[in-house]
Each structure stands twice: as structure tokens, then as C-alpha cells.
Amino acid sequence: MSGYDGPAMARHFLSVDDLDTPELSTLLDRSAAVKASPRDVADRLAGTAVAMIFEKPSTRTRVSFEVAISSTGGHPLALSSAELQLGRGETIEDTGRVLSRYVDAIVLRTFGQDRLEGLARTATVPIVNALSDLEHPCQCLADLLTIREHKGNLAGLVFAYVGDGNNVAHSLLLGGAKMGMAVRVATPPGYEPIPQVVERAAEIGRTTGGSVEVLHDPATACSGADVLYTDVWASMGQEAETAERARVFGPYRIDQAAVDLAKPDCIVLHCLPAHRGQEITDEVIDGPHSVVWDQAENRLHTQKALLLWLMDRD
């Protein structure tokens, strides 16, 4: 038997699009409640074990998940692919079959989305995308919670993402559209989010009152925005492109001039790690509009709520 005592077909969280709008809203409500009263969930995962497989380096994701699991009574198992037979050629599908006999959920931070999908095909326990090249859905949960905390609502807000059309941008497009936000993404030509994600986000927005716009002018994106967001210009695995990206992305920086274009009460987010002086300046990340540290903290609370929901311990 599997270590997971829930349904044979487990619920997974591989993409923000795995949640419909009511589910996403409920999960944010639950995250806020967990944050307000952490003692109420201190033993909800008692008797469970959660495998955390990291094929990419991690600070916030590893620490927040490990603390989320242990502080709700579960046992976290932090593993690298080098420590598993994955490093010697065992397939991700076979790994899913085996680990499902030992643990109650699996958190995977990896490169290709296909690895998560392969794991989910054979695992009988919930699989969580802790970052892939396509999406970073757990980060999006924390981002939405942070915005809601500081703005009181999400629907109708103008959200401006400036920088690389990467995995973080993909999740924010989907999550922002689901919550009825007007999402603007400004990137250099050739660095836009992939068309399939943009089209799906636009489709979602047509049912929620949200909207999606992909631009090349950062000033247009920032103008009148309620929320400004940026991320590193070169993600993990793109280190060889760092110098070229620094040249191309120079105008796509959240600095005081960008903040001045936004609404006077705008908030600024960055999923971290930040390369200060590149995609964001010191005066902004350390300034009065920054909610970056609240955003980082909220990874803990949203991941607690997510695991409780996926494992039917809510």
C-alpha cells in the first residue's frame, strides 16, 4: 500500500491552472487563516512524511517547505537527485512508483515540466511543483496572498511584471487572470512568455474580468500600476547568457523612475534572489513600496495551506 491514505488518484499541483478561481480564492483564504493562527494546524500533518527532491539549488523553497512540513507535524525528507537513483538513471516514473510506497506527498524542484508530469503519472500521492522551467506556482500563491494583504482585494488591480518572460511570469499570468487582475508583462523582444500560456491566461481572463497584455515598453506597463513585479534576468541554467541578458534587459529595471510611473500607493514585489542594481535597485527593494520580505515569508504560509489541502488534512 502507498503511504498516502487518500484517493488512489491523488490531487497534484503542477500548475496554477490546476486550480479554478474558487479553489484558488479558498486556498488564499486558508493561507491567511494559517498565517494568523499557526498553532491551529500544528499537528495536522502528524504521522506523515513528505519527500522534497531538489534538482536545482534552493533557499526559500527548501527552507519554507521544510519548516511548513515540520511545523504542521510532518516529517520532511530533503533529497537531491544525486542522493537518489535518479542520479544513476532510474526513471522519474519509477521513482514516483517507489516513493509513493513510503511517503505521503512529493515536492519536486526540477528543470523540465515533463519530469513533474512523468512523476504525477505514476505516483499515487500528491505531487507539488516547487519550480520548473515552465512555472513556479507555489511562488504565485505567496505573491497573490501578499498583494491581497496589502491591497485588500485582487480583482481589478493593474499588475505590471517587468523583465524576463520566464516561469514566474507564466504562473503570474495564469494566477492574475484567474483572480480578475489586469496583467501587463513587459519584456525585451524575443523574451516574451510562451504563446500558449499567454493565450490560456487571456482565455481565463475573459471569464473572470481579468486581462492580459504583453508589451515591450516597460514605462507603458508600469504606468498607473497597482503592483510592480520583477525577477532575475538570467534564471538557473541560463548562466552562460548573463552578460548578453544584462545588456538587453538594461531598460527593464524596477527603479525609482518606474515606481514614480505607478500609482502613489503601489507595492513592489520580487520573488528573490535579487541581483541588486540589475533588475531592481537598492532604493526600491529597501524602500517604502517594497513588500518583498512579506512576500518571502508568505511562501511558508501558502505552502502549509497547500499541503494540508492536497493531503486532505485541511
Domain that holds residue 289: 139-295
pLDDT in tens, 24-70: 999 999 999 999 999 999 999 999 999 999 998 899 999 999 999 99
Tell me which residues are annotated as active site: 109, 136, 139, 231, 271, 299
Instruction: Name the nearest CA neighbour of 290 among 309, 311, 313, 262.
Output: 262
Statement to judge: residues 96 and 125 lie in one domain: yes
CATH number of the domain that 33 lies in?
3.40.50.1370
Spell out, as residue ranges, where the chain has pLDDT lower than 50: 1-7
**Do the domain assignments include residue 192?**
yes
Q: Residue 47: how many CB atoms within 10 A of its CB?
A: 12
Give the C-alpha separation, 208 to 230, whole Å. 24
Could you tell me if residue 2 is inside a domain? no
> Is the same domain home to 306 and 159?
no
Predicted TM-score (pTM) of the model is: 0.95
The predicted structure's pLDDT at residue 57: 86
Residues 104 and 210 in one domain: no
> Quick one: angle between helices 60-71 and 292-310, nearest 10?
50
Regarding whether 128 and 69 lie in a shared domain, the answer is yes
9 lies in some domain:
no
32 with 146, same domain?
A: no
- In this prediction, residue 82 carries a pLDDT of 78
pLDDT tens-digit profile of 218-245? 999 999 999 999 999 977 677 778 788 9
Which residue in the block uniquely carries the three cell numbers 499541483? 13
Q: Are 56 and 111 in contact (CB under 8 A)?
A: yes
Q: What is the mean pLDDT of the chain?
A: 94
pLDDT at 236: 65
Note whether residue 5 is domain-resident: no
- Whether residue 261 lies inside any domain: the answer is yes
Residue 8 lies in a domain: no
Unique residue bearing C-alpha cell 520532511: 76
Rounded Cα gap, residues 21 and 87, in angstroms: 38
Domain count, the chain: 2
Q: Is 262 found in the same domain as 156?
A: yes
The answer to whether residue 4 sits within a structural domain is no
Task: Determine the pLDDT at residue 86.
Answer: 75
What pLDDT is recorded for position 85? 74
